[in-house]
Structure 1
């Protein structure tokens, strides 16, 4: 979107810059600051060197009353009547309607405005049943002036009752003017990592008598405890083949013991077998 000047050319928008100068008065309300600047203008002081700065800006919404269908219809009728009056005036001047066209446009505009007001209020569903007005206010207004003309401005304001407001003295030697960077202030952003500096070294010291602020413990850089290593596996036992061979030997020994037990339990048969073997030999 292009910004065009009065002659159709590009319009130069000034770059926003912070205010600068020396404070010559501080006031609680804007009307007091406006009164001081107006007095400087009446005393033929070059007010183009003066700036009004609002500190501590706040958005204030003041509730003016309860909103109902009647008030919504009335507000819509008034706004519509103004539009209808404009249309009727144009018809009466540039057309042949005369006074009748003016009155007709007024009534039609009021009717349509009332209808639109009621419909708009019904669409809100009762979520905003009040009327209000919003504005930006400041907790304090400071009047600034160029340093070379600040003493003259204070002299002129001193002739006005309560002209200096809450009062402000001349700048002390070595004090930075309004809007100048403070050399003692730390730059914005995280503190630089200085070897050996504690985590809270960049914080300002607490005021005397106040309780020390809770600070989180410094991060620990110790290595976590290593888990206990599992004991090594014992691989010195017999192998699978040796276990099979040992089981086979035990089975054979058991069979041999069983046969020996069977032979000792039948001695008559053993004697007969010996006789048979003797006769066969003879």
Structure 2
């Protein structure tokens, strides 16, 4: 019996623990979309794509600031999240409780409680930052380049196919 922490991998599947990729480089691209296009082209050319790996090299964590946080935004976002959660819980309770007649009241109570609790939690969270992070952002892991690797037995064929792709116009269909 294997566990998620055992050293054995599933046959034919990806490794369970992080491992360095293997294979020979058959293409290098500046953007992930280009590497994805290359692998799509290989797949359409009947190439055994299970032998291929896309590897991001020179990783960077990019945090893009999307806006300024204020008490109004924090409370509004908490209220909106709480309303959706409360509505969901209220509908689920109503569906599975089998209560007759009191369904709308039950949904309204759950909705109101969801709003109250989520607003309180959002306000406490924002107050605890004490102005150290008054902005919203989204984070993304990006690479400086993307290498397409292939197992040695098919690397030459893959390189030849990607050379044909490189000769096509960039806007053309794959």
- Counterpart-to-counterpart distance in 2, 1:104 and 1:158: 63
The gaps in structure 2 that reach 5 residues or longer are 8-15
Residue equivalent to 1:204: none
Number of residue pairs matched by the alignment: 157
Alignment of 1:160 with 2:162, yes or no, is no
TM-score by length of 2: 0.78
Question: 1:33, CA displacement in angstroms?
Answer: 1.1
Q: Which structure features the higher share of helix residues?
A: 2
Displaced runs of 4 or more, over 6 A: none
- Counterpart-to-counterpart distance in 2, 1:54 and 1:22: 14
Question: 1:91, CA displacement in angstroms?
Answer: 1.3
Equivalent position to 1:133, from 109, 131, 138: 138
1:145–1:80: structure 2 CA closer, same or farther, 3 Å change rule? same
Counting only pairs closer than 5 Å after superposition, residues 112-131 of structure 1 correspond to structure 2 as 112-131=117-136
Q: Which structure features the higher share of strand residues?
A: 2
Greater relative CO (CA pairs within 8 A, separation 6+): 2
Counting only pairs closer than 5 Å after superposition, residues 127-276 of structure 1 correspond to structure 2 as 127-160=132-165
Equivalent position to 2:40, from 38, 41, 45: 38
Question: 1:161, CA displacement in angstroms?
Answer: 5.2
Question: 1:32, CA displacement in angstroms?
Answer: 1.5
1:102–1:156: structure 2 CA closer, same or farther, 3 Å change rule? farther
Residue equivalent to 1:208: none
SS of residue paired to 2:123: helix
Post-superposition Cα deviations, 1:119-170, rounded to whole Å, max 9, x if no partner, equal: 221221111110111122110110001222112212333443567x9xxxxx
Residue equivalent to 1:10: 3
Residue equivalent to 1:59: 61
Larger radius of gyration: 1
Alignment of 1:105 with 2:110, yes or no, is yes
TM-score by length of 1: 0.50
Residue equivalent to 1:202: none
- Counterpart-to-counterpart distance in 1, 2:62 and 2:36: 20
The gaps in structure 1 that reach 5 residues or longer are 166-282
- Counterpart-to-counterpart distance in 2, 1:10 and 1:149: 32
Residue equivalent to 2:10: none
SS of residue paired to 2:74: helix
